[in-house]
Amino acid sequence: MSASYLAMLCSMSMLLNQCSPAPRPTDIVPIDQTRFSRQLPQDAVTLRWQRLLNLTCREILNVWRYADDGPEVHGDFLDYGYLENNTKSGEFGPETKGGIRPAAQNAYTIAVAIFTGAYEESITGVPIGEALDFSLTIVKSLAQDHLSNGGIGHPWGDQWQSAQWASKTAVTGWLLWDHLSPSDRTSVAKMMVSEADRFIDLQAPAANGNYKMNTHAEENGWDATGIQTACAMLFRHPNRNLWMDKLYEYRLTALATPADSLNHKLMRGRKVSEWITGYNIDSLGGLGNHQAYPHPDYMAAPLRHTIEGSLFFKLADLDIPEVNSFNCHLIYNNFCNYNWNDSSTIFREDGTIYWPIDIESDRRFEFQTFGIIDLGAQVLGYDLDPHPLGAYYEEKHTEKALEMQLTGFTAASAYLWRWLNFQEN
């Protein structure tokens, strides 16, 4: 059989979507969906997460997408505006409505619901096809609007929290891969590579003695998840080893204590003390932000970020690195067992949250955030109390979240993790 005849056959097959070009090192590796053949999990806690996920989809599709300060339309794309570094506001609306971060998180939430089969039209009131089209429009728009792809008027990227926004956008595209065109897939890949590459020559920040007032644990956590997303989706990329090195530096520095300057444990061939650039928490697992210590929301944040980074490795069917559990037990043990102000532990037995500081006390109702770190305690093994409490508190915190009809993209990551565990066990 001649080479030209084979080429003709392959060309014809490609037109019929029966043949595709050989993958390149810079291509995103699709999720192997043959691993998933079971029905939806039916245990009580997962069903709570599923309902929280659908309540969030309902809010996104019926309230958020019709907000007055929503995005501008540019042809087939939506432009969510550029967010100035650290100001959290931009020309096209505040971060909570028209900004890139909520757009990425909301598209991701819908994609998780559709990918897992958990989407319920009876709750959202929106046909699944319409929800799919909306999520796809966001991911294509945000990828095109990234500076690596030229942008739509005023590109975003290489800024403050953009690695996290890119991560959510990219994973959305990954979950909806079969619905993306080749050009959109390339845009998603270029965006993710650009965001991961920018850390190669950057040093993870450390608050050191200022960790009680302005820790860098959270930002290291979200940047590490951006890097880890690229490692999961583009594991053939020539820069992956460089990204993995930065993943270790950022994850370890995020939750390093002063004592870790003498930590000789080897991770990825180097001592912990050689990876870290300083410290961001104390030996109690305490840290602060917004000039307040201890700040429970910011204590929970780096745990949530490491859970999501682990989740994306799990989606790729890759082993989760041990760095994803580093020092997480210090914070979780603090939540469960440390008595603050001679008054209470942060996690109360009835599932409510003790708030030991005088600011931002409304965040004590973010039960989804606390619920996902309870889940992480179980799946990542940082629930080291002689009587592990992760399962107990996940049940309590999801009950509280559902009582309040809470919404938020955290439900998507929690549900996706539980769904994956069910599919593979």
Q: Fill in the DSSP letter of residue 347.
A: B
CB 145 within 8 A of CB 77: yes
Q: What are phi and psi of 267, to 5 degrees?
A: -135, 125
Q: Is the pLDDT of residue 6 over 50?
A: no
- Write down the pTM of the prediction: 0.93
Q: Is the pLDDT of residue 50 over 70?
A: yes
Q: What is the pLDDT of residues 324-339, one digit of tens each?
A: 999 999 999 999 999 9
Residues 69-80 pLDDT 10s: 678 888 889 888
pLDDT computed for residue 404 by the predictor: 97
Residue 266 has pLDDT above 80, yes or no: yes
Tokens of 140: 């294509």
User: Is pLDDT of 378 > 90?
Assistant: yes
Rounded CA separation 184/272 (Å)? 39
Comparing 411 with 383, the larger pLDDT belongs to 411
- Position 160 scores a pLDDT of 85
Bridge partners (DSSP) of residue 146 are 156
- Beta-carbon count within 10 A of 292 CB: 15
Cα 267-270-274 angle, rounded to 5 deg: 110
If DSSP codes are grouped into helix, strand and coil, which group holds residue 280?
coil
- In the predicted model, is pLDDT for residue 94 greater than 80? no
Beta-carbon contacts of residue 112 (< 8 Å; ≥ 6 apart):
53, 118, 175, 412, 413, 415, 416
15 pLDDT higher than 50? no
Extract the tokens encoding 188.
Answer: 């998603």
Instruction: Calculate the average pLDDT of the chain.
Output: 91
Per DSSP, 340 falls in state B
| N-to-C CA span, the chain | 46
Query: What pLDDT does residue 387 have?
Result: 80
Q: Is the pLDDT of residue 267 over 60?
A: yes
Kindly report, residue by residue over 193-208, the tens digit of the pLDDT: 999 999 999 999 999 9
Burial class (CB in 10 A: 0-12, 13-18, 19+), 241: exposed
Contact 147, 159 (CB under 8 A): no
Confidence (pLDDT) at 98: 55
